[in-house]
Structure 1
């Protein structure tokens, strides 16, 4: 909810030009420095999401194998677990704010194309993003160390999240199949929960992991994505709305409850319509 609120305030779009990928705030009522700060927080939320995805699968595995470690989620020690994704988010946002600030080189390199595409003045824009390959005055190309460090850190977090999710997903699946045999209700529920969680992870993988990976690759390999890169901001904005749906639709009890609520609501509206006629 906080991420969605911040998204409404900042109204970010993502723009790619060669090795430059920037997130731009289109809320021009914000002061430039404040806009950069909010964009860094917005980016940090993305990093914390990656941590929460991994934590979800760790928790699901602990439930499936009835580990004693599960007790740590039922008392004050849960704070230690929750600190992990919060730390990732804070670290991600700090890296973004300290290493991917606006600079004159980016302003110069994107000035003409941004003016042509959006009619914006780069000097007034609040944005964050890397420019991996910078050109000097004599035409030589050199690697921007700050951008390189930021890309390595961000890519590392993305890969760690994907690896953790995949590792515990496989272990969870194997555990469920080995522990619960036959067609018992417990086995059925475990599989529903597992498939719901898998689907909940496919959604952010498609809407968040994959787009960011493509953007990072375009930066490293100096690929031109242009305005099509703005679809990434749209896909990220869709995530909070779509993420709860798998649980509502896959878990039988929830699915029945939603169906009943919709049916009752439709019946009530129909009766009201009949009375009004």
Structure 2
């Protein structure tokens, strides 16, 4: 990944790097996977919303109905992939713009390597002044629209679920209320995590070049941030939910016993064993 001026590019790195008929479609699929990931993440939060706020609607996630529930994710994946493949293909102008930086940073020839690119504003040449590319702004707005749709779904469903959990706290026992507090905190953190590890890096990669902020080779950090999400998401639940935390760290759990003869309360400890 690289950003230069008011443009960005994603290059292929694999056995088909120099064979564009295969390398470019694979690069488009790679980019489309991000659209698929954020749509699945939005669906995940929608499921949480249904489970917490409207449990009678959970049948949408049962049996063959799950296929129709997943349909929006398939559509978003296809739209993002097609958007990249058809509207961001390598052109002579893009090859010329990225020849020096790709050769200098990655030792690849932009005239041969498989890559996709968005050039929001073409730099001035001997024959043409600097100008905006309206056709290159179209894929930009498509990507932003998909991200906005998925992000709005995540935030709305997350807030609704959090509000419902908070409102139910008044009618719970002390033990259930404590578990609800842990789940509340976990859901809140899991709502914030994708914003930091997925939306912010990719949004910066797409939007900052539009503003003329050049990221250069630092754009490669985008992929690293995206990879953090699946690793950190389960850790939040493990660390914030007490029973999970005790089991993972093999901590002793204190149990209360009441003597049937004396009526005194006794404490005994049981240890979590990992089999």
Q: Same fold (TM over 0.5)?
A: yes
Residue of structure 2 in register with 1:45 after alignment: 33
Q: Is contact 2:3–2:219 with CA below 8 Å preserved after alignment?
A: yes
Alignment correspondent of 1:156: 145
Deviation at 1:38, TM superposition (A): 1.4
- Aligned CA distance change for structure 1 residues 194 and 103 (closer, same or farther; 3 Å): farther
Structural mapping, 1:10-21, within 5 Å: 14-21=1-8
CA separation in 1, counterparts of 2:141 and 2:16? 33
For structure 1, which runs of at least 5 residues remain unmatched after alignment?
1-13, 269-277
* CA distance, structure 1, for counterparts of residue 26 and residue 175 of structure 2: 47
Counterpart for residue 256 of structure 2: none
Structure 2 residue ranges without an equivalent (≥5): 252-271
Larger Rg: 2
Quick one: distance in 2 between partners of 1:80 and 1:191? 33
Match of 1:10 in 2: none
Residue 87 of structure 1 and its aligned partner are, at CA, apart by: 1.7
Structure 1 residue 175 and structure 2 residue 164: aligned? yes
- Deviation at residue 232 of structure 1 after TM alignment: 1.0
Deviations 1:93-115 (A, max 9, x none): 11111111111111111212222
Change (3 A) 1:33 1:236: farther
Provide Cα deviations, 1:202-248, integer angstroms capped at 9, x if missing partner: 33221210011112222211221111111112222333333332223
Q: How far does residue 22 in structure 1 lie from its aligned partner after superposition?
A: 0.9
Matches within 5 A, 1:135-214: 135=123, 138-181=127-170, 182-214=172-204
Greater mean alpha carbon deviation, residues 201-210 or residues 14-23: 201-210
CA deviations 1:64-104 (Å, max 9, x no partner) are 22442222222321222112222211211111111111111
- 2:230 maps to 240
- Alignment equivalent of 1:107, drawn from 88, 91, 95: 95
1:25 to 1:243, Cα distance in 2 relative to 1, 3 A: farther
CA RMSD of aligned residues (A): 2.4
Q: Scaled by the length of structure 1, what TM-score is found?
A: 0.81
Contact 2:28 2:81 in 1 (8 A): yes
Aligned to 1:271: none
More helix by share: 1
What is the aligned partner in structure 2 of residue 6 from structure 1? none
Shift of the alpha carbon at 1:180? 2.8
Contact 1:48 1:89 in 2 (8 A): yes
Question: CA contact under 8 A between 2:193 and 2:233: conserved in structure 1?
Answer: yes
1:23 counterpart = 2:10: yes
Q: How does 1:90-129 map to 2 (within 5 A)?
A: 90-129=78-117
20, 25, 50: which one aligns with 1:32: 20
For residue 51 of structure 1, report the CA deviation from its aligned partner: 1.1
* Runs of 4 or more consecutive aligned structure 1 residues displaced over 6 Å after TM superposition: none
TM-score by length of 2: 0.82
